[in-house]
Amino acid sequence: MSRAEALREEAGATPEQFWHKAAQALQWERLPETAYDPENDAWFPDGRLNTCFNAVDRHVAEGRGEQAALIYESPVTGSSAQFSYSELLDRVSRTAGMLAEAGVEKGDRVVIYMPMVPEAVFAMLACARIGAVHSVVFGGFAAPELAKRIDDCRPVVVLSASCGIEPGRTIAYKPLLDQAIALSAHKPARSIILQREQLRCDLSEGRDIDWETAYAAASPVGCTPVAATDPLYILYTSGTTGTPKGVVRDNGGHATALRWSMEHIYGVSAGDVYWAASDIGWVVGHSYIVYGPLLAGCTTILFEGKPVGTPDAGVFWRLAEKHRVKVLFTAPTAIRAIRRADPDGEFIDESDLSSLQALFLAGERADPDTLLWIAEKLGKPVIDHWWQTEIGWPAVATCFGLGETEVRVGSAGRAVPGFRFRVKDDAGDAVAPGTVGNLLIEQPLPPGAFRSLWNNPERYAAGFVDFPGHYTSGDAGMIDDDGFIHIMGRTDDIINVAGHRLSTGQMEEIVANHEHVVECAVVGASDELKGEMPVAFVVTRSGVDGGQDVVQGIVTMIREGIGPIATPRTVLFVDSLPKTRSGKVLRNLLRSILNGDEIVVPQTIEDASVIEKLLAAVE
Ligand code: COA
Ligand code: AMP
């Protein structure tokens, strides 16, 4: 039996011992005696620790103070910087002092709406240091999305910057923040604003504090131990409605799982350079730019740029060479973009990638063509793996760190030790191997996975009711005879655009508000670059022709309501939408029509003649 199989068995048979042993890799203020409390579904209920201590202070105390902890590479500003663990400790403890000075206390929420700058990472760790709960909001979200999050988690302080930088343009954050605070019912007492030279902003008197001034005046503060079950962060993610779900992550289970994953899934340990080319606004950024690599004593890279165009498709490989990156993690979209710009992989050939041992992909489906292309060009293992914001760390993977290298194209790997997957049909019956159904995970979920949704226990519980005893992932999947799990896409109205999880239901709510729109449906169309892109089917009021003005109006509403990442690829005007006799829009049919898939006319369709018209509209 392989080591991975042995651990799968051990974690399945005796999860409490397994995770209690894994927890010993951390330093606890009080080591938990109880691994798991079934009544409250809580890991390490009597343990106390500080996540920041384990990610920062502990490495300095253990003699790694001079080692690089964080490398900042920003091709969009033409700058880079490096922080050793000692420097990180200094920055983080002073940032924590700055937060304390601004009135933040243990348990308070802090919203972080920032670009990919080192101060954002210091701020996340600073919150962890004082037991405050951060909620990072992706910088590409528009003001109404920020407002929803402010209203839901009610932060004492918002941390932001004067601007973010996208290729070719500077995004003024301050007007977005002001608009969000104007829209929200909850008014944070303070905002602390980092001025960036690329675009400075005016500060609002009475509310805004200049980051640099406050930081300079702050004294360093130490770590506040918290209960393992206390929240570390809230990260909002798209659900099927316009209201995002506030996934709550605890401290003890999270640190245990991430620390374990670095060694056993990714195969890295203290001193190795690990680079997740994602954004801190997403779960990948939380887990594998910030917490995972730092908990393991690795060097992590914060990249403010794009896979192409900053300045070219060679930037990943040049940086991997420059910093001797051992493991790189990115989204398949990034590889598709690189391939499009450099089809022969010339930039790859020009780089010395001898340090690189594996490339990991996640966040969306890795299409076999892209995966095989990059595997061939790199000549290294390319490992697809699957997880979600709710889960917090990989649940399906080829455990490279355990010596697994067999990759089955089309599959995201096997269950990671600790996760017990089941596939069931809609009636709740287990399906045979090789059959697609609802992808479920047996309870209890291992450490690191969510245990609640902020302010919304009912919505959390809803994730467990359809299949009692199981978490419903929302993905369709299939497990083959050898235990490889194949992810087939979502079973709900969530789409994945360039690795960004978005709700089509939310887009529909926005489009329906357009003055000329009677009804609409938004579905994800396959997209060669971004995996999926939203397409809006729109029925206009009688007498109103769908013209360029209406298209522009709808596009602007989505960009200003959700953010530019949700920009629809097309708006299609149709006479009517395909519906069931009970009035439900047949979104799967729309998706098939758009993607040119075989059309199966549903028995329940109210009027099948609409299909011909839709096919004509799509042409
Ligand atoms: N702040 C503000 N705006 C942002 C933003 C941010 N953090 N991120 C993206 N946007 C904007 C872009 O500027 C763009 O605006 P535009 O429509 O006005 O041009 C829009 O959102 C779409 O951006 P993006 O999805 O990045 O598309 P693109 O066409 O500019 O770039 C890729 C294409 C492939 C280079 C890009 O999608 C990419 O890097 N994908 C990989 C994403 C990734 O790593 N995801 C990981 C999640 S795990
Ligand atoms: P997020 O919560 O933003 O990380 O998005 C999670 C969703 O992205 C999952 O439910 C899947 O639908 C999709 N996803 C993530 N990783 C993969 C993968 N490796 N293959 C297919 N889909 C994936």
**Cβ atoms 495, 507 nearer than 8 A:** no
The amino acid that residue 89 corresponds to is L
408 CA to centre of ligand 2 in angstroms = 18
**pLDDT confidence of residue 346:** 98
Residue 300 CB–ligand 1 contact under 6 Å: no
Spell out where 446-568 has E strands: 452-453, 470-479, 485-490, 494-497, 500-503, 517-527, 531-540
**pLDDT confidence of residue 545:** 80
**One domain for residues 60 and 134:** yes
Assigned domain for 369 exists: no
Q: What's the number of domains the chain is made of?
A: 3
**pLDDT confidence of residue 617:** 85
**One domain for residues 445 and 531:** no
* pTM exceeds cut of 0.85: yes
Residue 118 burial (CB count, 10 A): 19
| 402, 420, 438 - which closes a domain | 438
What phi, psi does 100 have (nearest 5°)?
-60, -40
**One domain for residues 99 and 163:** yes
**pLDDT confidence of residue 618:** 85
Assigned domain for 288 exists: yes
Residue 237 CB–ligand 2 contact under 6 Å: yes
**One domain for residues 169 and 263:** yes
Assigned domain for 244 exists: yes
Residue 363 CB–ligand 2 contact under 6 Å: yes
**Cβ atoms 480, 434 nearer than 8 A:** yes
- The whole-angstrom separation of Cα 365 and Cα 192 is 38
Of ligand 2's atoms, which has the minimum distance to the CA of residue 474? Answer: 10
Closest CA to 271 of 300, 234, 308, 305: 300
Omega within 30 of 0 (cis) for the link into 444: yes
**One domain for residues 9 and 93:** yes
Assigned domain for 430 exists: yes
Instruction: Pick the residue whose CA is nearest to atom 3 on ligand 2.
Output: 501
**One domain for residues 444 and 526:** no
526 CA to centre of ligand 2 in angstroms = 15
| 405, 438, 471 - which closes a domain | 438
Of ligand 1's atoms, which has the minimum distance to the CA of residue 500? Answer: 47
Residue 339 CB–ligand 1 contact under 6 Å: no
**One domain for residues 52 and 186:** yes
- The whole-angstrom separation of Cα 398 and Cα 405 is 6
19 CA to centre of ligand 2 in angstroms = 25
Residue 384 CB–ligand 2 contact under 6 Å: yes
Residue 475 CB–ligand 2 contact under 6 Å: yes
- The whole-angstrom separation of Cα 503 and Cα 512 is 14
298 CA to centre of ligand 1 in angstroms = 27
Assigned domain for 429 exists: yes
| 396, 415, 438 - which closes a domain | 438
Residue 50 CB–ligand 2 contact under 6 Å: no
Residue 114 CB–ligand 1 contact under 6 Å: no
Q: Which residue has the tokens 């974690």?
A: 11
**Cβ atoms 534, 569 nearer than 8 A:** yes
**Cβ atoms 210, 196 nearer than 8 A:** no
Residue 330 CB–ligand 1 contact under 6 Å: yes
**pLDDT confidence of residue 543:** 81
Closest CA to 35 of 252, 225, 287, 251: 252
Residue 499 CB–ligand 1 contact under 6 Å: yes
173 CA to centre of ligand 2 in angstroms = 28
388 CA to centre of ligand 2 in angstroms = 6
**Cβ atoms 483, 414 nearer than 8 A:** yes
- DSSP β-ladder status, 437-442 and 421-424: antiparallel
Spell out where 1-53 has E strands: 36-37, 42-43, 48-49
Instruction: Pick the residue whose CA is nearest to atom 3 on ligand 1.
Output: 140
**One domain for residues 291 and 145:** yes
**37 has which bridge partners?**
42
CATH number (domain holding residue 63): 3.40.50.12780
**One domain for residues 434 and 483:** no
CATH number (domain holding residue 583): 3.30.300.30
**pLDDT confidence of residue 132:** 98
Cβ density class 409-438: b for 16+ within 10 Å, e for less: ebbbbbbbbbbbbbbbeeeeeeeeeeeebb
Q: Domain containing 573: what range?
A: 494-618
Residue 62 burial (CB count, 10 A): 12
**Cβ atoms 101, 77 nearer than 8 A:** no
**Cβ atoms 395, 417 nearer than 8 A:** no
**One domain for residues 255 and 130:** yes
What phi, psi does 423 have (nearest 5°)?
-120, 125
167 CA to centre of ligand 1 in angstroms = 9
Assigned domain for 361 exists: no
Of ligand 1's atoms, which has the minimum distance to the CA of residue 363? Answer: 48
Of ligand 2's atoms, which has the minimum distance to the CA of residue 283? Answer: 4
Of ligand 1's atoms, which has the minimum distance to the CA of residue 330? Answer: 44
- The whole-angstrom separation of Cα 284 and Cα 261 is 13
Q: Which residues contact 542 (CB under 8 A, 6 or more apart)?
A: none
Assigned domain for 119 exists: yes
565 CA to centre of ligand 1 in angstroms = 6
Integer distance in angstroms from the first to the last C-alpha of the chain?
Answer: 54
Closest CA to 148 of 77, 242, 64: 242
Assigned domain for 259 exists: yes
Closest CA to 570 of 590, 588, 599: 590
Residues of the chain with pLDDT under 70: none
**Cβ atoms 608, 539 nearer than 8 A:** no
**One domain for residues 419 and 454:** no
**One domain for residues 27 and 49:** yes
